[in-house]
Structure 1
Amino acid sequence: MTTNSLDLAALLCSRLCHDMLSPVGALNNGLELMADEKDPVMRQRCMELLEQSARTSANKLKFFRLAYGAAGGFGEAVPVEEAHELLQSLTAADERLTLEWAVGEQSLSKPAIKVLLNLAAMGLDSLVRGGTLAVGAERSEGKTEIAIRAAGPKVAFDATVGKALGGQLAESELSGRTAPAHMIRLIVERDNGEVMYHHGEDALVLGAVLPDMEGMIG
């Protein structure tokens, strides 16, 4: 299965815009309230909401830059702490979510970081009622192994996302929702890796194996 790179970019942009609509919309609403509000206490509350929305918007943009983009500010390897901080920022905003981080490596290749972040995002999307997102990755015998586990009550997972991960979704069925999964599929196919998932009622497990490219990681 192949997809025109322009089509995939358009679908990823659609997903980005969809996810940014809420925090940016909240900023706009907050500014409108501030313009009409005279009570000092309410104005302070508006400022707090504006700060929260601005922080959420910035965190999401940083995430998309690394998960979807070229991550031009880094070399061939990306410090894993960058991914850790991004996922911390996304989970900290919801008290129902807990992040467990088990990545001992100092850095991973750009493709591995991209796959890790997108799989983690799928895990977060599945925790509609809250829960724990466990993220693990290690390099061994020339390969990078990535494991994501999302556990909580009534874990949700869109079957079309699973089909996109498995390369079973027709190009005509691709959407902004399934584009990240399709991108992961393209990455692992290009690099001769593999991606897999298992969805149960209370847990979603996602994993990927990518070969380390010689010279990419020190």
Structure 2
Amino acid sequence: MNEVSSTELAAMLCSRLCHDMLSPVGAMSNGLELLASETDREMRQNCMELLQQSAAVSTNKLKFFRLAFGAAGGFGERVSVEEPKELVEALVADKGRIEVQWALSHATLSKPAVKVLLNFAQIAIDALVRGGRLDIGAELRDGACELVVRASGDRIAFDEIVGKALDGSLPASDLSSRTAAAHMIALLAKECGGGLQYARGDDALVLGAVLPEPEGLIG
């Protein structure tokens, strides 16, 4: 695994967060400007709908990044699977044209597993530029959590540089805000004694992880 300082990685993740938040926050700013100058009742209603939609998108993204990138304060060592399900469903609703299927064998997952699952889901959603299907599975077996996220559709947009960040072969000098999240979960998997892998075809992208579970924390 290539070395990058924790400060540099944190800065890259912050850049990614700011990039993703810019659009919905900018839309709220535009909506407020229009609302301040608009007198037509119908147009003001349209402005309010824009503000509500942008606020919802911003809130969902912040919740996602809190759990996918942050320390996830407020959660215990294990997280209900309903939390990542709700966040992924919100991301998919914002993108549109993506069907999600879940196969989760347990009611809770460890924090590391949730972080990997959410970041896998983000990569997979971004890959479905023309829509498609997202299959997400998690199973606890033989003392480890096995995660699989599969994106299938007419066109798969996946930059191999992200794959290199996932498998640890990307030089630290080539890391950027675009690959920081993949690098982060690769480090996380290594710390847990597990690993990540991926496979890409013409119409599918499969992301997988095996993360050993601490004894006594399987729920």
TM-score normalised over the length of structure 2: 0.97
8 Å contact kept, 2:135–2:151: yes
Question: How far apart, CA to CA, are the structure 1 residues paired with 2:216 and 2:90?
Answer: 31
In the alignment, is residue 120 of structure 1 matched against residue 121 of structure 2? yes
Contact map agreement 2:105 2:140 (CA 8 A) in 1 = no
Give the match's secondary structure for 2:198.
Answer: strand
Paired residue secondary structure (1:93): helix
1:39-188 matches, within 5 Å, as: 39-188=40-189
Q: Which runs of 5+ in 2 are unaligned?
A: none
Q: Residue 178 of structure 2 aligns to which amino acid in structure 1? A: R
Q: Deviations over 1:62-102 (max 9, x none)?
A: 00000000111111111110000001111122331111111
Residue 104 of structure 1 and its aligned partner are, at CA, apart by 2.5
Kept after mapping to 2: 8 A contact 1:127/1:152: yes
Q: What is the percentage of aligned positions where both structures have the same residue? A: 60
Cα RMSD (Å):
0.9
User: Are residues 155 and 94 of structure 1, via their aligned partners in 2, closer, same or farther at CA, if it must alter by over 3 Å?
Assistant: same
Number of positions where the alignment pairs a residue of Structure 1 with one of Structure 2 = 218
CA distance in 2, matches of 1:96, 1:88: 12
Aligned to 2:23: 22
Residue 71 of structure 1 aligns to a residue whose secondary structure is coil
TM (norm. structure 1) is 0.97
Mapped contact 2:116–2:185 kept (Cα < 8 A): yes
1:203 aligned onto 2:204? yes
1-structure distance, mates of 2:185, 2:142: 22
On the 8 A contact 2:146/2:209 being kept in 1, the answer is yes
Deviation at 1:171, TM superposition (A): 0.8
SS at match of 1:198: strand
Q: Distance in 1 between matches of 2:165 and 2:96?
A: 30
Whole-angstrom CA distance in 2 between matches of 1:17 and 1:118: 16
Find the counterpart in structure 2 of residue 3 from structure 1.
Answer: 4
Structure 1: gaps of 5 or more residues: none
